[in-house]
Every structure is written in structure tokens, then in C-alpha cells.
Amino acid sequence: MTTSQHIENTMPTACAAPTDLQAVVFDVDGTLADTERDGHRVAFNRAFARFGLPWEWSVATYGELLAVTGGKERIRHFAARQAPQWLERPDGGAWLAGLHQLKSEIYGELVRAGTIALRPGVARLIGELRGAGVRLAIATTTTRSSLDSLLLSSLGDDAQSLFEVIGAGDVVAHKKPAPDIYHWVLQRLQLPPQACLAVEDSQPGILAASAAGLPTLITVNAYTAADDFSGALSVLSDLGEPGQPAKRLAGQALDGDCVDLAQLRRWQQTAVNTLNRRQAACLATS
């Protein structure tokens, strides 16, 4: 069974009760797929070569640059240190936009070639959530064109319809770790943050989601394994598959081999109960 068939066979059958988890908001790069090292980094380097730039981002260098969220922001940050004359030209803004656009096109070509796969458990969990009527959304700094390429390649022709709200690219002024993208998504879902759960992979991601009030699950990757994930519901190696257990690295226990809807609901309810106790304690002392 293909990924798209798996998801189509688990279409909504019932809506979640108001007190249940109502929506899950996914980050993309590093969370849905390991896109950074062998996707975005490669695309940046090929774009640099086509623009005649003597830049080559190694695996280690790119890992450092991930502290800067957003592709255009990453190029601007690097250029400001290595070759500020490119940014100081009268057409510096157009140059930067053109370079990033080329990078996005190259990334799309890499994705369509099938070089980037979804991480373990992603398709399974999306299918289960969809089948249970849990609403799905995306909150990412990646461009919409790059996102669409990944979704189409990984989840099939109906991939975009799986996600009710897609916050991507420059829809907000301030990118992660600012919470703006999560506020944008929550506003369109018309849900309070406590009724949602975010799935992230990095420190900027959890800072953004937590600042917006969303309980957050972390699935690390090679670039983010050493990040500080204080406040996460749980920190895992991945979402896991039956027979391919996810490894818990920190936070609350994983009851079984993999993350499923029942597990997400238990974690989310624990977060809600903790918040309610804190609010009650504040009221009692005010």
C-alpha cells in the first residue's frame, strides 16, 4: 500500500470531543523529513555555483547556519560575514531574492527525484490523525514551493488537502524562534493553543511553539540532537513504527514502540492538567 493509499483509507470517521486533542501542527524541515543536510544544503551549494559564488557549505558549516531560520535569512547572514559587498549593491535585495529562488527550484528538483523520504512514523501518524478527525496543520519557515514539492513527492496528489492550514515561508514577518507562525496558524484554526500539539525538531522550533502556548513533542535529527529541549512533552529519536521502536531521549515516557493518537492525547492532557493547576495556584495566591 502506498503512502497516499494509506492515508486515503483512513479518512475522518468521527470528530474529537471538545476536551480532546483537536489539532496537531507539524514543522517540516527535520520533522516530516530529513531535508536539511542532503536537501536544502545541497540546493544552496548548487545555487551558489550557478551564481558564480565561491561558497560551499559543508555539513558542519550548515549545522551552524541552522541557528538562523529561513533560507533568505541564512544567505544574508552568511554574506554579511563573508562578502558584504553583495548585499551592499544597489540591486542587493533582488540579487538575494533571485539566489534564494534558484535554490528553491533546485531543492524542488531534488525532492521530485525522490532523494528525500519522510521520517519513520510520519505517514502512519498523519493517516491515523486524519482518520480520527484530528485537524492537521503546518507551521514552517520553508517556502511554500519547497513544501509543496515535498508533500507531493512524499504523500501523493492529495497531500495538500490533508492539512487544513499551511503556514509557510514569509506569511509572517518574524520567523522561529518567534511564535508568529504559530499564532498565524492558531488564528486560522480558531483553536486555543492548549487544544493543539506541535511536533518540532529543533530549539528554535520548540521556543516558537512554546511561546505560542502549544505543548510540543520533539523528534530530533543529527543536527539538533544536542539542542536544549526544556519544556518538551517528550524528546524522541523519531515517531517510530511497529517493530521499529522510537527511542525516548528525555521527557515523558513513550508507551509502546511508536507515537500514536492515544499517546498524543495522553501527553496533551497532561500538559492541560499542568497548566490548569498552575493557573489555579496563581488565582489562589492573587
Q: Return the ∠ at Cα 280 (arms to 275 and 283), rounded to 5°.
A: 125
Give 254's contacts (C-beta < 8 A, 6+ positions apart): 234, 236, 240, 246, 248, 263
Contact 193, 216 (CB under 8 A): no
Q: Catalogue the active-site residues.
A: 27, 29
